[in-house]
């Protein structure tokens, strides 16, 4: 096993780093952290598109670069190191594209993939899976899609839909087989839905930070043409289970609060100097060292997953391990930072008293969600136990 990157991979990393440094110097964005992805900026996504950095791993015939997942993770590591504004293309690049490559029709691939890769207008996606009574157990959704000629008619409600209010399209899971005796795992289908379609109502949910990042989405007799059914009818649950591996395995689960870790290390060094080293809080040093160990473990878990995807391996259990470990590490980072900094941790951005530019207070408010969104830790452990270790249900 090799734990080093090739010279080409290192050169790629430097390329990305130089680009991002120039963007920061030019004032295009500044580094802050808390939410999973920083809000979208199409201008920035267009620059990434020009460099071929959207759809990096996708086949060339769809505008991708055919490069490896290890390279993709190098790119993501550099982007998340500085919290680049990826919101415009993030869902299309990470999830929708790979799902279409696996399950989409020829028309869907030809229509959507090159547009996502170019960061064209109209390529912001949101994910319409969770419902008020179905989150971990997606097979329990009740949103219906009834066939009516060339159309499906959708009725129901989704919830926690991140970015629905900014999205052009939604990736929707709905029930297509309503027979009471049907197998709940073989009765849902996936669709792409234009979020401007009549009958869709989006209602904001303001989170603990005070930001409008997710929503409730209501469907009242929304018509979707059958061309927008993705994959096979009633196979949506199986398809989604393959897709969520991409959502779970990424370095973003480790690095959502990376700038906080950098600032925490600097903060502890400042304490050290302020106290002349004599009253140095050794427990704080111990905490930071522990976090460094965990960060490096998380990084290796993620890169191993990337390498496994490149080998064509099934990564469900490995991806679940990444997300379970990395999101809990990020919560421990917040916990340690707040104990080291003390009560000032709670002061919000905008006050001159806010430590770490206010990142700490915001991360503290966001962090309970890290182990819930994209699959809770308990559910991920079930996957590791069942699919990874072969334990019984």
Ligand X SMILES: Cc1cc2nc3c(=O)[nH]c(=O)nc-3n(C[C@H](O)[C@H](O)[C@H](O)COP(=O)(O)OP(=O)(O)OC[C@H]3O[C@@H](n4cnc5c(N)ncnc54)[C@H](O)[C@@H]3O)c2cc1C
Q: Which residues bind ligand X (CB under 6 A)?
A: 126-130, 135-136, 160-162, 214, 369, 372-376, 378-379, 382
Distance of closest approach, residue 280 Cβ to ligand X, in angstroms: 37
240 token code pair: 């989604």
251 token code pair: 């370095």
Cα dist. 168→33, 136, 285, 380 in Å? 25, 25, 47, 30
Distance of closest approach, residue 337 Cβ to ligand X, in angstroms: 20
CA 59: distance to chain centroid? 22
- The residue assigned the tokens 């009818």 is 233
Q: At what angle do helices 236-248 and 316-341 cross, to 10 degrees?
A: 40
The nearer residue to ligand X, 17 or 332, going by C-beta atoms, is 332
Q: Nearest 10 degrees: CA dihedral of 143, 144, 145, 147?
A: 180
Distance of closest approach, residue 49 Cβ to ligand X, in angstroms: 23
The nearer residue to ligand X, 57 or 243, going by C-beta atoms, is 243
The nearer residue to ligand X, 72 or 248, going by C-beta atoms, is 248
The nearer residue to ligand X, 157 or 287, going by C-beta atoms, is 157
Distance of closest approach, residue 10 Cβ to ligand X, in angstroms: 34
The closest of 41, 358, 355, 377 to 209, measured between CA atoms, is 358
* E strand spans, 242-336: none
Distance of closest approach, residue 164 Cβ to ligand X, in angstroms: 8
The residue whose Cβ lies closest to ligand X is: 135
339 token code pair: 């104990």
The nearer residue to ligand X, 231 or 375, going by C-beta atoms, is 375
């Amino acid at each position: 096993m090799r734990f080093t990157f090739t010279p080409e991979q290192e050169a790629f990393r430097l390329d990305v780093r130089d680009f991002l440094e120039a963007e920061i110097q030019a004032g295009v964005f500044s580094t802050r952290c808390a939410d999973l992805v920083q809000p979208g900026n199409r201008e920035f996504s267009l620059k990434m598109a020009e460099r071929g950095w959207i759809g990096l791993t996708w086949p060339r015939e769809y505008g991708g670069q055919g490069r490896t997942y290890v390279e993709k993770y190098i790119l993501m590591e550099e982007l998340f190191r500085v919290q680049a504004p990826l919101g415009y293309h993030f869902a299309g690049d990470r999830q929708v594209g790979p799902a279409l490559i696996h399950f989409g029709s020829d028309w869907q691939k030809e229509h959507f993939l090159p547009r996502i890769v170019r960061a064209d207008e109209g390529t912001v996606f949101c994910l319409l899976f969770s419902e008020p009574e179905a989150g971990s157990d997606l097979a329990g959704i009740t949103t219906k899609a009834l066939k009516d000629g060339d159309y499906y008619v959708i009725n129901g409600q989704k919830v926690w839909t991140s970015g629905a209010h900014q999205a052009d399209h939604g990736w929707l899971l709905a029930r297509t087989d309503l027979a009471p005796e049907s197998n709940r795992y073989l009765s849902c289908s996936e669709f792409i839905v234009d979020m401007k379609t009549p009958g869709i109502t989006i209602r904001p949910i303001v989170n603990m930070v005070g930001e409008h990042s997710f929503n409730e989405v209501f469907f009242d007799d929304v018509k979707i043409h059958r061309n927008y059914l993705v994959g096979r009818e009633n196979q949506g649950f199986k398809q989604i289970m393959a897709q969520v591996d991409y959502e779970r395995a990424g370095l973003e689960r480790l690095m959502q609060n990376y700038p906080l870790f950098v600032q925490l290390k600097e903060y502890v060094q400042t304490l050290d100097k302020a106290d002349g080293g004599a009253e140095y809080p050794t427990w704080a040093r111990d905490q930071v060292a522990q976090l460094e160990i965990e960060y490096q473990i998380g990084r290796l878990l993620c890169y191993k997953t990337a390498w496994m995807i490149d080998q064509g391996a099934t990564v469900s259990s490995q991806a679940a391990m990444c997300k379970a470990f990395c999101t809990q590490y990020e919560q421990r980072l917040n916990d340690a930072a707040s104990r080291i900094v003390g009560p000032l941790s709670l002061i919000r951005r905008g006050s001159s008293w806010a430590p770490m530019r206010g990142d700490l207070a915001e991360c503290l408010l966001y962090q309970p969600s890290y182990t819930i969104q994209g699959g809770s830790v308990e559910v991920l452990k079930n996957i590791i136990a069942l699919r990874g270790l072969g334990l019984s249900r």
